[in-house]
A and B are shown apart, each in its own frame.
Chain A
Amino acid sequence: MENPLHHFELHTLVPIRIGGLDLSITQGVVMMWLAVAAAFAVLFFPAARLKLVPGRRQSLVEMAVVFLRDMSVELIGKKGPVFLPLLAALFFFVLFCNLLGLIPGTFTATSQIFVTGALAVTAYFVSVGVGLKYHGLHYFKIFAPTGTPSWLVPLMVPIEVISHLARPLSLALRLFANMTAGHTILAVLFSLTVSLGIALGWLPFGFTVAIYLLEFAVAFIQAYIFTILTTVYIGDAVHLH
């Protein structure tokens, strides 16, 4: 049986090395460009010709953006829409990376830890930066919430610091592991289909179709979860719990 993790390997298309840094163009980078292009095509063209009575495509985009705006207002408060550009960019980029990866033969950019890691670190530093901007050094009070008994503080602070630092890690790992796991299952089922032949191969193939539909839902759910957790972290920084 072929190694089901084989299709996550990156292949260098255009080697670029600057100093010790490997900045080569791999198929992951190409898929990210395609995701940006797809998001641009879907979002920009309806927005360029805004109509008072929206057409089909404009209402779809409006629905998504209004959904994200309401989420940011509910979780961050009045300042929520300030962060809408960041949240919408994260949502649509992750969503289009996930969806483009589902097309057979393509590569899922979000199944690479470097992509999700970069997104998660960005989200994390935005939340820390927002906290420092709005509260200055008072921001560090989140490590010992008001009302904590003084004898608990030496215990609370390390726990809170660790849980705070685990945020970008869990954000990155969740998206990476979800995408990797889903595509690995698909690869295993496909290789079973091939190895069982026509007599029994239809059975795993049927499962492949079901898992494919599930992966389609997961692509949306994971993009939504990534965005909502970023919103929650920014909301935490704005409100100090």
Chain B
Amino acid sequence: MEAGAAAFIGMGLAALGFAGAGIGIGLIFSKMIESVARQPAAEGKLGKYVWIGFALVETTALYGLVVAFIIMGSR
């Protein structure tokens, strides 16, 4: 296999990281909706933690994007 082709495959594989972030973000917001349905008064307090958690989860996926950029740069 050519090195260039392997680089493209690697860049594609780096996108797999988004699957994990998708699951994580889905879990965060499903729990948020569940909690607010049970305890509507807690929405203001929970919102802050939801966004912090969302940011932390999303970053893991974006590291994959950065890995793809690094491969693209060294290709």
A25 to B52, CA, bound (A): 35
A174 to B21, CA, bound (A): 13
Known: A173-B59, A225-B55. Is A74-B66 also a contact (CB below 8 A)? no
Q: Taking chain B's interface residues, is the majority helix, strand, or loop, or is none over half, making it mixed?
A: helix
Within 8 A of A (CB), among B25-55: 48, 51-52, 54-55
A221 on the B face (CB < 8 A)? yes
Inter-chain contact total with CB atoms closer than 8 Å: 36
Q: Do B63 and A74 touch across chains, with their CB atoms under 8 A apart?
A: no
Q: Do B62 and A228 touch across chains, with their CB atoms under 8 A apart?
A: no
Distance from B68 Cβ to chain A, minimum over Cβ atoms (Å) = 10
Within 8 A of B (CB), among A205-230: 221, 224-225, 228-229
Number of interface residues of A (CB under 8 A): 16
B7 on the A face (CB < 8 A)? no
A181 on the B face (CB < 8 A)? yes
Quick one: which of A71, A173, A221 contacts B66, CB cutoff 8 A? A173
Known: A174-B55, A225-B55, A229-B55. Is A71-B48 also a contact (CB below 8 A)? yes
